[in-house]
Amino acid sequence: MAAGKLTGAATRALRRGGGTALPGLVALRIDPGVVAALGRQLGGGRVLVTGTNGKTTTSRLLAGMLGAAGRPYLHNREGSNLVRGFASLLVQRADLRGRVPGGAEMVGVFETDEATFPAAVRGLDPDVMVVTNLFRDQLDRYGEVDAVAGLWREGLAAARRGAVLVLNADDPSVAALAEGWPGRVHWFGVDDPAVGRGAAGAADARWCTCGGEYVYERRYFAHVGWWRCAGCGRGRPATDTTARAVQLQLGGARWVVDGLGEVEMGLTGLYNVANALAAVGAARVLGLGEAAVREGLRGASAAFGRQEVVMLEGRELWLLLAKNPAGANQVLLLLEQAGGPGMAVAGLLNDRFADGQDVSWIWDVEYELLAGRVARCWAGGDRAEDLALRLDYAGWPRPLAVARDPAAVLEAVLAGTAPGERVFVIPTYTAMLELRAELARRGAVRSALE
């Protein structure tokens, strides 16, 4: 405990980051059982949230609902979703004797990296496990989606039978996790034919475990929708938490949840409605009241770079993180629905480890959706030229600038727009970090980091 706490204090004093990993690493080196010893003191419920996309947003929404309900909770920050991050969080909250003050009533919300899920289950013995979706991440990160599904099954095999799964009924790969699960499942999903479409984006699940092909009554995006296996007849389960009458605007979404009536949220896009449903499902399993659920949704602010609006010299920059093909397609769908005509769009593509070093995934992104709607565009990031080529094939206009340096991209955006104009910026993960740092240097970032 002392070593972890000292490390945390030292890293903060030396300004070597917020101390999200190193204190945990040190504590784990001394006592590999530190996460279990501290985490299991959280008696209000231990919740793991995993999935390819949406786990940060879902955990934040759930934390907001817990706050509105007045329930004490712990929540790991984005970027600390590995076991060392859990250890850092817990060590900093515990006292020197290894006790978490107020732990008996406290809820733990742990955003969990997909590959960390089995270790997180073994360490934390969760009461609730939320899975948002399973998409292909960048090609070279975790390998095929089947490998990730295998890791999740391994985690579930280690979980307590009394735990509750909160699963996305619209994603057949997530729904398959319930097969063989002996405990309770709380299903969430969207029931709104108006937001369905024929085909949208690269499907990462085409075949059932039986070998049969999935057929769709309606598809929301990629392989997510109202599905059925043509082989074994397995189909989308009936949902416990259901969204209907979804209305998406640029600055927010409204929809009806069975049992709650109409709810509203400051985030938008069908993908965020699905994330919100995951949080509502978990909140219901934890026994939170209606008022807290509504307030948690209404008070939602965008997580770091996801639908964040930043003013720069009078321009309204919308930062729309797209860290993989599914995420990018969802952003493009949102802009198709709500972005209006004559959009100005800047894409930023990096190829570092966290982005995926193989950028060929951009050829699975349907930039074509916005052909004819984009009036001006910019291509930036380490792989600006690759992105410019992709946008050219998609029928976008010739970029006003192709520049790797985020500062140069911002200069070009300023040169190509007038004050009062809106620009949509679609960065990959590390490009978002760099852009945000550059915006901060220019005094432009409006919402403070948590």
Contact set with Zn ion (CB under 5 A): 208, 210, 212, 229, 231-232, 234
Nearest distance from C-beta of residue 221 to Zn ion, angstroms? 22
Nearest distance from C-beta of residue 145 to Zn ion, angstroms? 16
Of residues 176 and 263, the one with the C-beta less far from Zn ion: 176
Nearest distance from C-beta of residue 229 to Zn ion, angstroms? 3
Nearest distance from C-beta of residue 212 to Zn ion, angstroms? 4
Of residues 227 and 361, the one with the C-beta less far from Zn ion: 227
Nearest distance from C-beta of residue 146 to Zn ion, angstroms? 15
Give the amino acid at 434: E
Of residues 103 and 172, the one with the C-beta less far from Zn ion: 172
Of residues 9 and 230, the one with the C-beta less far from Zn ion: 230
What gap in Å lies between CA 447 and CA 403, rounded to an integer? 26
Of residues 208 and 409, the one with the C-beta less far from Zn ion: 208
Nearest distance from C-beta of residue 85 to Zn ion, angstroms? 37
Q: What is the CA radius of gyration of the chain?
A: 22
Of residues 229 and 297, the one with the C-beta less far from Zn ion: 229
Of residues 180 and 287, the one with the C-beta less far from Zn ion: 180
Nearest distance from C-beta of residue 213 to Zn ion, angstroms? 9
Nearest distance from C-beta of residue 365 to Zn ion, angstroms? 29
What gap in Å lies between CA 110 and CA 119, rounded to an integer? 12
Nearest distance from C-beta of residue 293 to Zn ion, angstroms? 34
Which CA distances in Å does 35 have to 108, 110, 114, 118, 372?
12, 12, 18, 13, 52
Q: Which two tokens stand for residue 202?
A: 């690269």
Nearest distance from C-beta of residue 233 to Zn ion, angstroms? 7
Give which of 169, 225, 425, 397 is closest to 307, Cα–Cα: 425
Of residues 18 and 212, the one with the C-beta less far from Zn ion: 212
Of residues 170 and 438, the one with the C-beta less far from Zn ion: 170
The secondary structure of the chain, three-state, reads CHHHHHHHHHHHHCCCCCCCCHHHHHHHHHCCCHHHHHHCCCCCEEEEEECCCCHHHHHHHHHHHHHHCCCCEEECCCCCCCHHHHHHHHHHHCCCCCCCCCCCCCEEEEECCHHHHHHHHHHHCCCEEEECCCCCCCCCCCCCHHHHHHHHHHHHHCCCCCCEEEEECCCHHHHHHHCCCCCEEEEEEECCHHHCECCCCCCCCCECCCCCEEEEEEEEECCEEEEEECCCCCECCCCCEEEEEEEECCCCEEEEECCCEEEEECCCCHHHHHHHHHHHHHHHHCCCCHHHHHHHHHCCCCCCCEEEEEEECCEEEEEECCCCHHHHHHHHHHHHHHCCCCEEEEEECCCCHHHCCCHHHHHHCCHHHHCCCEEEEEEECCCHHHHHHHHHHCCCCCCCCEECCHHHHHHHHHHHCCCCCEEEEEECHHHHHHHHHHHHHCCCCCCCCC
Q: Which residues, at least 6 apart from 236, have a Cβ–Cβ distance to it below 8 Å?
A: 169, 170, 172, 175, 189, 226, 227, 228
Of residues 203 and 312, the one with the C-beta less far from Zn ion: 203
Nearest distance from C-beta of residue 172 to Zn ion, angstroms? 9
Nearest distance from C-beta of residue 228 to Zn ion, angstroms? 9
Under 8 Å between Cβ of 299 and 63: no
Of residues 179 and 449, the one with the C-beta less far from Zn ion: 179
Of residues 233 and 342, the one with the C-beta less far from Zn ion: 233
